[in-house]
């Protein structure tokens, strides 16, 4: 069986995900994997010429699958997943992708040891983490490390089930970021909003007249 057809067989993994949610609802942060519609909206916020991506909180691999479908080569994708069972699931499903069982709070070290910082940075970080339930210091540590792994025009793409920006204002300000509410979908359980964060000084977000 080819890796693609194997993935197609294994991807309806709501039960795997739900079991992990029962064990740790705060950390897993959702009762079911994201929808394909939400995955498409996340992909549409990637920089147009992106090549290397870091995914935080891979879960059952909905975004991983979408990233590969978007044209990202397996070797240019680094996925962090803290839950051991979900990590094993991702390793089985995505041969060739760098899937690490690790904490996004340790992103700087993990990215460096997998060659996703310095000379070969990531173009974007896609996050499925439940940022809303994280204390400020943890949010700040993860997002700061994510921007350290990207060039100045890098993007941090995040979804939320909440009604407002999931990253605290103090975190956005202290890291010199700007936030943009990019899209919303009812076709997800629960409905979700996509936010994009970039450095304030990034050329990618400067007004046209300033370019």
Ligand X SMILES: C[S@@+](CC[C@H](N)C(=O)[O-])C[C@H]1O[C@@H](n2cnc3c(N)ncnc32)[C@H](O)[C@@H]1O
Write out the residues near ligand X by the rule CB under 6 A: 27-30, 33-34, 56-59, 62-63, 80-83, 86, 103-105, 128-130
Shortest distance (Å) from residue 81 CB to ligand X: 5
Shortest distance (Å) from residue 103 CB to ligand X: 4
Closest by Cα among 15, 49, 44 to 32:
15
* Residue pair 124/154 in contact by the 8 Å Cβ criterion: yes
Shortest distance (Å) from residue 26 CB to ligand X: 9
**Which of residues 39 and 50 has its CB atom nearest to ligand X in the complex?**
39
Region of 54 on the Ramachandran plot (φ > 0 left; ψ -120 to 50 alpha; else beta): beta
Q: For residue 68, how far is the Cα from the chain centroid?
A: 14
69/43 Cα distance (integer angstroms): 10
* Residue pair 59/39 in contact by the 8 Å Cβ criterion: no
What CA–CA distances, in Å, run from 203 to 153, 177, 209? Answer: 7, 13, 11
**Which of residues 76 and 81 has its CB atom nearest to ligand X in the complex?**
81
Shortest distance (Å) from residue 102 CB to ligand X: 7
Shortest distance (Å) from residue 203 CB to ligand X: 29
**Which of residues 80 and 93 has its CB atom nearest to ligand X in the complex?**
80
Torsion of CA 168, 171, 173, 177, to 10 degrees: -100
94/3 Cα distance (integer angstroms): 7
* Residue pair 115/140 in contact by the 8 Å Cβ criterion: no
Shortest distance (Å) from residue 207 CB to ligand X: 33
**Which of residues 38 and 175 has its CB atom nearest to ligand X in the complex?**
38
Take residue 44 and report the two structure tokens written for it: 């549409």
What is the SS3 assignment for 5?
A: helix
**Which of residues 114 and 205 has its CB atom nearest to ligand X in the complex?**
114
**Which of residues 101 and 179 has its CB atom nearest to ligand X in the complex?**
101
């Amino acid at each position: 069986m080819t890796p693609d057809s194997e993935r197609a067989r294994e991807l309806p993994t709501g039960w795997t995900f739900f079991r992990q949610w029962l064990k740790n609802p705060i950390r897993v942060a959702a009762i079911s994997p994201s929808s394909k519609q939400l995955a498409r909206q996340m992909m549409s916020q990637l920089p147009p010429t992106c090549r290397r991506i870091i995914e935080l909180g891979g879960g059952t691999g909905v975004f991983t699958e979408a990233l590969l479908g978007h044209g990202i080569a397996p070797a240019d994708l680094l996925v962090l997943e803290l839950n051991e069972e979900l990590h094993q699931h991702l390793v089985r499903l995505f041969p060739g992708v760098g899937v690490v069982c690790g904490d996004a709070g340790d992103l700087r070290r993990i990215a460096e040891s997998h060659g996703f910082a310095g000379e070969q940075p990531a173009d974007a970080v896609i996050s499925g983490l439940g940022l809303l339930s994280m204390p400020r210091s943890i949010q700040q540590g993860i997002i700061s490390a994510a921007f350290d792994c990207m060039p100045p025009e890098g993007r941090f793409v995040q979804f939320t089930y909440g009604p407002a920006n999931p990253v605290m204002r103090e975190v956005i300000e202290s890291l010199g970021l700007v936030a943009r509410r990019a899209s919303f979908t009812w076709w997800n359980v629960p409905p979700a909003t996509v936010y994009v964060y970039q450095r304030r000084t990034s050329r990618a977000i400067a007004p046209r007249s300033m370019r």
